[in-house]
Structure 1
Amino acid sequence: MKLTVVGGGSTYTPELVSGIADRHAAFEIEEIALVDPDLDRLEVVGGFARRLLDQAGHPAKLSLTADLEAGADGAAAVLLQLRVGGQRARASDETVPLECGCLGQETTGAGGLAKALRTVPVVLDVAERVRRIAGEKTWIVDFTNPVGIVTRALLDAGHRAVGLCNVAITFQRWVAGQLGVAPDRVALEHVGLNHLTWVRAVRVDGVDVLPRLLTDHADRLAEHVGLPAAVMRRLGAVPSYYLKYYYRHDAIVTEQRSRPSRAETVAGIENSLLELYRDPGLVAKPALLEQRGGAYYSEAAVQLVASILTGRGDVQVVNTRNGSTLPFLPADAVVEVPARITAAGPAPLPVAPLPPMISGLVAHVTAYESLALEAALHGGRDRVFDALMAHPLIGQIDQAETLADRLVSVNRDLLPWAAA
């Protein structure tokens, strides 16, 4: 079985390879193909990845290429982890909105829209080329942000695709650590959209312990998600840490203006990681990799690929079609919910009705995501403006006008319709 990673030169890649090496009994991988246009970077990351496989005694062949067709040929699954425009584009995603008084974040708000505009056309081109060379049955697992919008674009284009985020598995592991239980005993009722989710139940061996978490572990829980425990008790749910950008928007903007951007921090971490990866004596993941983000990324990715290729039928949190899962949303929306993973794809499990405080925000952001996808697919400054007006963190004419012009301008070289 062959697994292809598009964006294989990412500093995340050793996490994935390490996960495969540590869990090779889950399913048999004979080849891992890393695809990236930056061959110098790919050689550095790939060299370290080879050492990780060798250290673990994993027999998989590791191939490195800038040729997507060569990398995807024969692949059973293709994992997408792209960053169109690199860290330079991320920096503009975080700083341009902040200059306009809005949240500066690469996946949420105006920054997330800019990322979608750049990313969706590239991902669709990659996916179509993969389909031509590897066939209709190849699964595409998207880890590329904004995951919900990108996954919907892939599904709308007829690809066998599923979106993946590490928020759910990170919280599951945190809960397991707090309670001193094995992670596989913890199941979450995790509901919403990508980067807009709430945990409404935490079941340990089938028993909901969320009320106990909201009392006995309230302070640590508040610190973990960046929101007051009293708000969580009022909701009867634990919002993901991305909800602080909605519930504390103005305070977060003030904080962001007082410190360096996350993009600056990540760029420094990436440079340091690449230097570490160049050391031929390095045969284990460096501690610095934990600061890069994407905690438990490898576990989530390996679990999902193993289950979908073997039809294991276990339950995982993924991004997939809504269908009737959240009845107040269109059936073709993409939601992030627990689903049974079969060879035919994810089958979302039923969820309890959401209260208005949650369902209203989910519906609002879903409307924005539809308009964001339209802008990414068809271009046009006015479509960008429409998406900004629909976003609950913007929604003001003056800010949307300014941001539409700024986002198109700073991304012009990466938007074919804007450069024309």
Structure 2
Amino acid sequence: MKKSVKITTIGGGSSYTPELVEGFIKRYDELPVRELCLVDIEDGKEKLEIVGTLARRMVKKAGVPMKIVTTLNRKEALRDADFVTTQMRVGLLDARIKDERIPLKYGMIGQETNGAGGMFKGLRTIPVLLEIAKEIQEICPDAWLINFTNPAGMVTEALLRYSNHKKVVGVCNLPINMRMTIAKLMGVETERMQIDFAGLNHLLYGLKVYIDGEDKTSEVIEVLADPEEQVNMKNIAPLPWLPEFQKALGVVLCPYHRYYYKTKDMLDDELKSFQLGQTRAEVVKQLEGDLFELYKNPQLDIKPPQLEKRGGAYYSDVACNLISSIYNDKGDIQTVNVRNEGAIRELPYESAVEINCVITKEGPKPIPVGELPVEINGLIQQIKSFERVAAEAAVTGSYEKALLALCINPLVPSDRLAKQVLDDLLHAHKEYLPLFNQKVKM
């Protein structure tokens, strides 16, 4: 019999944790988790206790021998861990509100993983995750680090380039959401559909779509060209694609592509919400408050269905699937963020990409796609340049690199505005940017 595992979740007080717990409960027969250790920081202590208590009720109801531990001691939590999952938000939701509202003040997209807001989430997060990776290397060097923290592409890039811990995988709920939605639109079960995904996190393209092994890409593109039949997510305005554009591009788009191919339309939509004080971050803060009120109910012993409104549905399921496939050496195909290793010919060998991989006990093995279509290669190259320069800025605290990264990003319209939004966001987040504080007067 294979040994049971200990899983440590950093950011255990997250509203997503009940989904993670549900995922481990329903897979217990194939993934025996003896201990799930939920760890958080002092500011998250109350939420951690609420979530931890709910998790214990869920485990008791399910009748599985999984011990739930809550702690603020990260190093102790890492001891003997086989897998470490990270789902943090440095600065909590108030920081996300600033990431969204400040860029909008300058007339540019305000979003938590794209543009200026996404870069600042990365600047705050990367130094913390590199410190965690260092602790994993010292305390539980054989453990896999499974990161859900956004911006997952930039974060995975930084971990692969600047950490000595190489057992790192970034996960996202976007690929599974796309596959499930397209299967539904085509009237087939999700299991019958396979999509050849390639690109970057939140810049992911479906190159080919197969149903029962048969290429159905052109039929899927035809369906997706209908403005009523779109792949949407709760956190992104569902603005329909121009049918002629969708057909001409010839690959499946993800919802985040709207920020790049429909920038003005998305900005106009965001500015309306901004004026009403209803940016996505502010909506999420209200939703999260409501969720924690639900979680406090001593009668609640399941993941409440309201959690899916939070925008991260299936996030935890993706992580549980990945952990189970590594543990069981399944050899199945999943879409994750890993080192490229030549899978996408035009991107550096050592860069992070989001791509289909065969999942083995040695970790994910990327499936080569060769050369990208010329129609999508340019944007992928531009965003990869942005991620690399922004990751370097996060590690060095370089003002110049941060400014350069913003100027590279297509959602930032000029160098002058880049400097203005950079200075404003640096000041707004100075509490969480110690490297920059040493070099910039704020």
TM-score, L = length of structure 1: 0.96
What is the alpha-carbon distance in structure 2 between the residues aligned to residue 203 and residue 56 of structure 1?
37
Conservation of the 8 A alpha-carbon contact between 1:214 and 1:221: no
Q: Does 1:163 align with 2:170?
A: yes
Secondary structure in structure 2 of the residue aligned to 1:154 = helix
What is the alpha-carbon distance in structure 1 between the residues aligned to residue 24 and residue 139 of structure 2?
24
User: In the alignment, residue 25 of structure 2 is paired with which amino acid?
Assistant: A
2:245 matched residue in structure 1: 231
- Pairing partner for 1:269 from 276, 287, 295: 287
Conservation of the 8 A alpha-carbon contact between 2:137 and 2:164: no
1:205 matched residue in structure 2: 212
What is the alpha-carbon distance in structure 1 between the residues aligned to residue 65 and residue 436 of structure 2?
47
1:85 matched residue in structure 2: 91
What is the alpha-carbon distance in structure 2 between the residues aligned to residue 385 and residue 353 of structure 1?
31
2:235 matched residue in structure 1: none
Conservation of the 8 A alpha-carbon contact between 2:153 and 2:353: yes
Shift of 1:210: 2.6
1:68 matched residue in structure 2: 74
1:325 matched residue in structure 2: 343
CA RMSD of aligned residues (A): 1.5
- Pairing partner for 1:140 from 141, 145, 155: 145
2:264 matched residue in structure 1: 250
Secondary structure in structure 2 of the residue aligned to 1:340 = strand
Q: Does 1:316 align with 2:323?
A: no
Shift of 1:99: 0.9
User: In the alignment, residue 266 of structure 2 is paired with which amino acid?
Assistant: I
Shift of 1:114: 0.4
1:178 matched residue in structure 2: 185
Q: Which moved more, 1:215-224 or 1:345-354?
A: 215-224
Shift of 1:313: 1.3
What is the alpha-carbon distance in structure 1 between the residues aligned to residue 210 and residue 265 of structure 2?
33
What is the total number of aligned residue pairs between the two structures?
419
Secondary structure in structure 1 of the residue aligned to 2:110 = coil
Q: Which moved more, 1:180-189 or 1:120-129?
A: 180-189
User: In the alignment, residue 237 of structure 1 is paired with which amino acid?
Assistant: V
Q: Does 1:222 align with 2:227?
A: no
1:381 matched residue in structure 2: 399
What is the alpha-carbon distance in structure 1 between the residues aligned to residue 305 and residue 32 of structure 2?
28
1:8 matched residue in structure 2: 12
User: In the alignment, residue 234 of structure 1 is paired with which amino acid?
Assistant: A
Secondary structure in structure 1 of the residue aligned to 2:344 = coil
Conservation of the 8 A alpha-carbon contact between 1:322 and 1:332: yes
The gaps in structure 2 that reach 5 residues or longer are 233-237
Q: Deviations over 1:241-279 (max 9, x none)?
A: 000000111111111111110010000011110010000
Q: Which moved more, 1:25-34 or 1:209-218?
A: 209-218
The gaps in structure 1 that reach 5 residues or longer are none
1:419 matched residue in structure 2: 437
What is the alpha-carbon distance in structure 1 between the residues aligned to residue 351 and residue 60 of structure 2?
42
Shift of 1:300: 0.7
Aligned ranges for residues 91-106 of structure 1 at < 5 Å?
Answer: 91-106=97-112
Secondary structure in structure 2 of the residue aligned to 1:313 = coil
- Pairing partner for 1:392 from 410, 421, 424: 410
Q: Which moved more, 1:170-179 or 1:369-378?
A: 170-179
Secondary structure in structure 2 of the residue aligned to 1:393 = coil
TM-score, L = length of structure 2: 0.92
Q: Deviations over 1:44-100 (max 9, x none)?
A: 011111122222222211111111112111110000001000001000110111111
Shift of 1:223: 6.0
2:355 matched residue in structure 1: 337
What is the alpha-carbon distance in structure 1 between the residues aligned to residue 313 and residue 208 of structure 2?
22
User: In the alignment, residue 308 of structure 2 is paired with which amino acid?
Assistant: E
Secondary structure in structure 2 of the residue aligned to 1:222 = coil
What is the alpha-carbon distance in structure 1 between the residues aligned to residue 293 and residue 360 of structure 2?
40
Conservation of the 8 A alpha-carbon contact between 1:388 and 1:395: no
What is the alpha-carbon distance in structure 2 between the residues aligned to residue 253 and residue 142 of structure 1?
29
Conservation of the 8 A alpha-carbon contact between 1:6 and 1:81: yes
Conservation of the 8 A alpha-carbon contact between 1:317 and 1:337: yes
Secondary structure in structure 1 of the residue aligned to 2:309 = helix
User: In the alignment, residue 121 of structure 2 is paired with which amino acid?
Assistant: K
1:36 matched residue in structure 2: 40
Secondary structure in structure 2 of the residue aligned to 1:299 = helix
Q: Percent identity?
A: 38
Q: 1:219 to 1:352 in 2, by over 3 A?
A: farther
Q: 1:414 to 1:72 in 2, by over 3 A?
A: same
Conservation of the 8 A alpha-carbon contact between 2:231 and 2:255: no
Q: Does 1:57 align with 2:63?
A: yes
Q: Deviations over 1:145-175 (max 9, x none)?
A: 1111111222221221010011001111112
Shift of 1:117: 0.6
2:201 matched residue in structure 1: 194
